[in-house]
């Protein structure tokens, strides 16, 4: 077999110093031109004739190497191939695409697997997809149907059956209103791992990113409400969309069907982007929708409202929740039933933890006075170890030689601002992890002489400080409250008993001369952490009213490290 190969040869003007090339190359006189310019002289050209009639001496087996074409074409694609819808509280619409990636026509013969509550809009079967044709489908998911969505919609072609997997949970609003006689109890629970040394120092590690949260309330169910509730219990293991009842507000401007904005108050209310809200008229007339953006004057919705809501309609933020334990029911008559229910919020509960503004020795100071309508309790704890062989007297060892005061604190807050500030503080504490200075809020020391502006000394009535407490770090730090509303933080560095009085040397002077009558109270101040990972907030009324909480603090030695 003869082959002809036409070539054009040229050489650079300076020649080529390459021992592997024939010397005849240097006889070429054609000029070398840059690629951007045309050739000044015609190039040497010729024809090479090669005769090759030999058959191959052996056969070589090979396979075709796949390419991008094989990976991407010659099949039908559905994009995305899986839809995770999460909690379905209202009608949702999602789109997906079917693409015939064949270079030939393919026939869609059937669409299989559309269950109750799913509506598919798009090309129906039978339909001929042309080569490389793509079609868009819209899937509408309604709250009606099975409580669990776990479906696979199959697109049956002649030789292929691609599918799209759809998962989610239908949630229904728990639209019964609580009995406010005993209020609503909210519980926030963190988890802290604490390692305590024999000297009393601690290493504390938070195990939760956000606290677990429960809401507990009582309900009075009468007539049709009782019937409706009992039938809803068939879904008792599923999630509900529960309103945060203490954040109630009413619409000041009517909202119309098709609106995607609701004018309302958003400051200090737990609305969240991507979260749920509930518009409520009665236990069967309500609408749940999602929030896409929050502004000072209202909420922008992910989808338009499906109904008209007149002025005065109740508006709540809502959360996905399940029963923490199955409801406790008490039947009073054949038409009246009481229910006590605790809900577990099935979601993360982020909130911005904010430390108090005032600081002392690098730690924040929680200055808010406790509510004292009930007694505030306290107890001194020690790291004691008892050795008892049940024969002789027991032997007790004080391992750290220090006391750790555990003191209770009761908080009472009026209005959304105070409640938000308290919530910021307990989120700052992060369970038992972080510490803050806590005053005793008691009259611990009584000044009996004038306090000099330049001399850092307090002369106090005898109270046994020098004898018992002078070496105890538990009683070294003071907060001095004055009648004019100001206060000072000071540390006791020395003490002595003279002439029936006691003198306390402070780390710095007050810078102001004070008479004993100018001082309202002197309190010991201790660096403390929460003594529990669980905090209960009792919502006596809605968030514009009253809320209460009880905390317990325990002294730590973090400031001594």
Min mean pLDDT across 24-38, 292-306, 391-405 is at 24-38
Q: Please provide residue 304's backbone torsions phi and psi, each rounded to the nearest 5 degrees.
A: -70, 155
Residue 4: exposed, middle, or buried by beta-carbon count in 10 A (0-12, 13-18, 19+)? exposed
Nearest alpha-carbon partner for 434 in 538, 560, 554, 561: 554
Q: Please provide residue 247's backbone torsions phi and psi, each rounded to the nearest 5 degrees.
A: -100, 30
Considering 40-44, 313-317, 373-377, 379-383, the range whose residues carry the highest mean pLDDT is 313-317
Q: What is the pLDDT of residue 62?
A: 79
User: In CATH, what number does 73-170 get?
Assistant: 2.60.40.10
pLDDT band at residue 39 under the 50/70/90 scheme: very low
Tokens, residue 463: 């109270």
* For range 250-274, the mean pLDDT: 93
Q: What is the pLDDT of residue 556?
A: 96
Q: What is the pLDDT of residue 71?
A: 82
Location of structure tokens 């199955």: 326
Asked if residue 36 has pLDDT above 60, the reply is: no
Q: What is the pLDDT of residue 462?
A: 95
* For range 396-424, the mean pLDDT: 93
Q: Which residue has the higher pLDDT, 12 or 1?
A: 12
* For range 443-456, the mean pLDDT: 95
Min mean pLDDT across 56-60, 145-149, 303-307 is at 56-60
Q: What is the pLDDT of residue 23?
A: 60
Average pLDDT, the chain: 89
Q: What is the pLDDT of residue 6?
A: 43
Q: pLDDT tens digit string along 341-373?
A: 999 998 889 999 999 999 999 999 999 999 999
> In this prediction, what percent of the chain has a pLDDT beyond 70?
90
Q: What is the pLDDT of residue 170?
A: 82
Asked if residue 56 has pLDDT above 70, the reply is: no
Q: What is the pTM assigned to this prediction?
A: 0.78
* For range 25-38, the mean pLDDT: 53
Min mean pLDDT across 146-150, 389-393, 466-470 is at 146-150
* For range 219-248, the mean pLDDT: 92
Nearest alpha-carbon partner for 169 in 215, 212, 117, 213: 117
Q: What is the pLDDT of residue 400?
A: 86
* For range 490-502, the mean pLDDT: 94
Beta strand pairing status for 261-263 and 118-121? Answer: unpaired
Domain with CATH 2.60.40.10 in the chain: 73-170
The secondary element (H helix, E strand) that includes residue 428 is: helix 415-429
Q: What is the pLDDT of residue 65?
A: 78
Q: What is the pLDDT of residue 302?
A: 86
Asked if residue 314 has pLDDT above 80, the reply is: yes
Q: What is the pLDDT of residue 147?
A: 75
pLDDT band at residue 5 under the 50/70/90 scheme: very low
Count CA within 13 A, CB hemisphere, residue 106: 24
pLDDT band at residue 102 under the 50/70/90 scheme: very high
Asked if residue 320 has pLDDT above 60, the reply is: yes
d(C-alpha 244, C-alpha 186), whole Å = 10
> In this prediction, what percent of the chain has a pLDDT beyond 90?
71
The secondary element (H helix, E strand) that includes residue 70 is: helix 68-72
* For range 226-250, the mean pLDDT: 92
Q: What is the pLDDT of residue 32?
A: 54
* For range 388-398, the mean pLDDT: 91
DSSP codes of every residue in 15-57: ----TTS-GGGGG--PPP--TTS--SSPPEEEEEEEE--PPPS
Q: What is the pLDDT of residue 432?
A: 97
Asked if residue 1 has pLDDT above 90, the reply is: no
d(C-alpha 415, C-alpha 206), whole Å = 30
Q: What is the pLDDT of residue 4?
A: 43
Asked if residue 41 has pLDDT above 70, the reply is: no
Q: What is the pLDDT of residue 145?
A: 80
Min mean pLDDT across 103-107, 146-150, 151-155, 269-273 is at 146-150
pLDDT band at residue 146 under the 50/70/90 scheme: confident
* For range 268-276, the mean pLDDT: 92
d(C-alpha 506, C-alpha 76), whole Å = 82
Location of structure tokens 């919502």: 539
Q: What is the pLDDT of residue 8?
A: 46
* For range 203-227, the mean pLDDT: 95
């Amino acid at each position: 077999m003869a082959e002809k190969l036409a070539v054009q040869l040229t050489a650079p003007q300076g020649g080529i110093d390459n021992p592997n090339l024939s010397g005849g190359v240097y006889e070429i006189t054609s000029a070398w031109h840059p690629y951007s310019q045309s050739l000044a002289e015609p190039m040497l050209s010729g024809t090479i004739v090669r005769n090759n009639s030999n058959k191959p001496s052996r056969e070589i087996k090979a396979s075709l190497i796949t390419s991008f074409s094989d990976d991407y074409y010659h099949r039908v694609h559905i994009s995305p191939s899986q839809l995770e819808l999460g909690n379905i509280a209202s009608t949702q619409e999602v789109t997906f695409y079917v693409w015939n990636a064949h270079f030939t026509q393919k026939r869609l013969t059937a669409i299989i697997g559309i269950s109750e509550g799913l509506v598919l809009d798009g090309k129906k079967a039978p339909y001929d997809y042309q080569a490389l044709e793509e079609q868009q489908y819209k899937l509408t998911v309604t709250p009606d149907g099975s409580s669990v969505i776990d479906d696979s919609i199959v697109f049956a072609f002649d030789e292929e059956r691609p599918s799209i997997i759809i998962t989610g949970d239908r949630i229904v609003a728990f639209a019964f209103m609580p009995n406010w006689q005993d209020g609503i109890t909210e519980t926030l629970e963190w988890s802290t791992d604490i390692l305590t040394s024999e000297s009393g120092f601690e290493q504390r590690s938070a195990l939760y990113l956000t606290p677990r949260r429960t809401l507990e309330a009582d309900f009075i169910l009468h007539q049709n409400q009782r019937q409706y509730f009992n039938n809803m219990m068939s879904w008792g293991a599923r999630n509900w969309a529960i309103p945060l009842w203490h954040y109630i507000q009413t619409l000041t401007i009517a909202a119309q069907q098709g609106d995607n904005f609701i004018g309302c108050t958003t400051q200090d209310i737990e609305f969240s982007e991507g979260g749920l809200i509930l518009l409520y008229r009665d236990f069967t007339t309500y609408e749940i929708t999602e929030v896409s953006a929050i502004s000072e004057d209202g909420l922008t919705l992910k989808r338009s409202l499906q109904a008209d809501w007149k002025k005065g309609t109740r508006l709540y933020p809502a959360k996905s929740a399940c029963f923490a334990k199955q409801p406790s029911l008490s039947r009073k008559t054949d038409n009246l039933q009481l229910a006590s229910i605790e809900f577990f919020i099935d979601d993360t509960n982020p909130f911005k933890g904010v430390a108090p503004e005032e600081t002392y020795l690098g730690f924040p100071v929680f200055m808010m006075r406790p509510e004292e309508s009930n007694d505030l309790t306290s107890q001194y704890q020690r790291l004691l170890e008892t050795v008892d062989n049940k024969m002789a007297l027991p032997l007790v060892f004080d391992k750290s030689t220090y006391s750790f005061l555990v003191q209770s604190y009761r908080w009472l807050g009026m209005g959304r601002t105070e409640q938000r500030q308290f919530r910021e503080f307990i989120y700052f504490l992060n369970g038992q992890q972080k510490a803050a200075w806590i005053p005793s809020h008691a009259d611990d020391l009584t000044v009996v002489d004038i306090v000099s502006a330049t001399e850092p000394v307090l002369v106090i009535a005898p109270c046994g400080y020098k004898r018992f407490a002078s070496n105890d770090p538990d009683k070294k730090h003071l907060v001095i409250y004055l009648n004019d509303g100001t206060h000072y933080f000071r540390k006791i560095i020395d003490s002595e008993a003279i002439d029936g009085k006691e003198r306390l040397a402070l780390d710095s002077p007050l810078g102001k001369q004070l008479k004993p009558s100018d001082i309202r109270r002197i309190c010991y101040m201790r660096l403390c952490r929460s003594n529990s990972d669980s905090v209960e907030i009792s919502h006596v009324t809605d968030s514009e009213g009253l809320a209460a909480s009880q905390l317990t603090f325990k002294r730590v030695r973090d400031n001594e490290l």
